[in-house]
Amino acid sequence: MPRYGRALVGLAAVALLGSLVAAAPAAAAPTDSLANTVLTTGSAAGTAAAVGDVLQASLKATTTANFYSTATGTTGVKCAASSFSAKVLTNPAAPGTATESLTVQSFTSCTTNVVGTLGVNSVIVDNLPYSVSVTSAGAVTLTGPIQSTVSLRTLLGNITCVYKANGNTVKGTASNATTSIAFVNQPFTKSSGPGTCFSTAYFSATYSPIRDTTQAGSPIVYVN
């Protein structure tokens, strides 16, 4: 299995998404944005996301969640489906920092192109929940014992690779312009697994749109 395979999971937890907020405010936000909370629904000037609301998102259409052995390569594991669910813990007035709890993160429909591997059994995000912070500038940070476990089929049987996020942190960027949250080349280091597991795995994924599924109609979430 590619050392990279393991990273798949961890990031996802990355993060993301992650990855909980769909978008970060543009620099030229409305002058009344200071009256808004950090997280709003429907529009940047919309209804505040309430404490306890559940935010959910899947991968942006036609994209994949990638766990590669290098930051510039294409060898490793990629998943055609991924989603996350997070609960709003605090949502102060903007500008400020909202907090969330990432409770669910999944990766499915995964494939591998690593020599000697035949397929992906599973990519699991361990140790949930993770803490999430979202700033008015659109910086999304996941913290905690972020770890993922990837099970791969090889010519010699199944192998397991475990990866931990460097510094127990995964970072992403929210954008109101694209109503998305993106994680780019977030590094994970192998903590256990055979030599076929990459020593470092890089996770990238874009989730869009992020929706508040607690509110009627599941409106899109914005950052202020």
Segment 92-144, tens digit of pLDDT: 999 999 999 999 999 999 999 988 899 999 999 999 999 999 999 999 999 99
pLDDT of 4 over the 50 cut: no
190 secondary structure, DSSP code: E
- Token representation of residue 16: 């993301």
Domain count, the chain: 1
Residue 17 pLDDT level (bands cut at 50, 70, 90): very low
Q: Which residues pair with 99 in a beta bridge?
A: 90, 133
Q: Which residues contact 209 (CB under 8 A, 6 or more apart)?
A: 22, 57, 179, 180, 220, 221
Q: What is the mean pLDDT of residues 213-220?
A: 98
pTM (predicted TM-score): 0.84
Burial label, 157 (beta-carbon count in 10 A; 0-12, 13-18, 19+): exposed
The parent domain of residue 49 ranges over 3-223
- pLDDT value, residue 204: 98
The mean pLDDT value of the chain amounts to 88
Sheet of 39-41, strands arranged across: 47-48, 39-41, 221-223
- pLDDT value, residue 19: 39
pLDDT of 162 over the 80 cut: yes
Rounded (10°) CA dihedral 170, 173, 174, 176: -170
22-34 residue pLDDT tens = 444 443 343 343 4
- pLDDT value, residue 13: 38
- pLDDT value, residue 224: 97
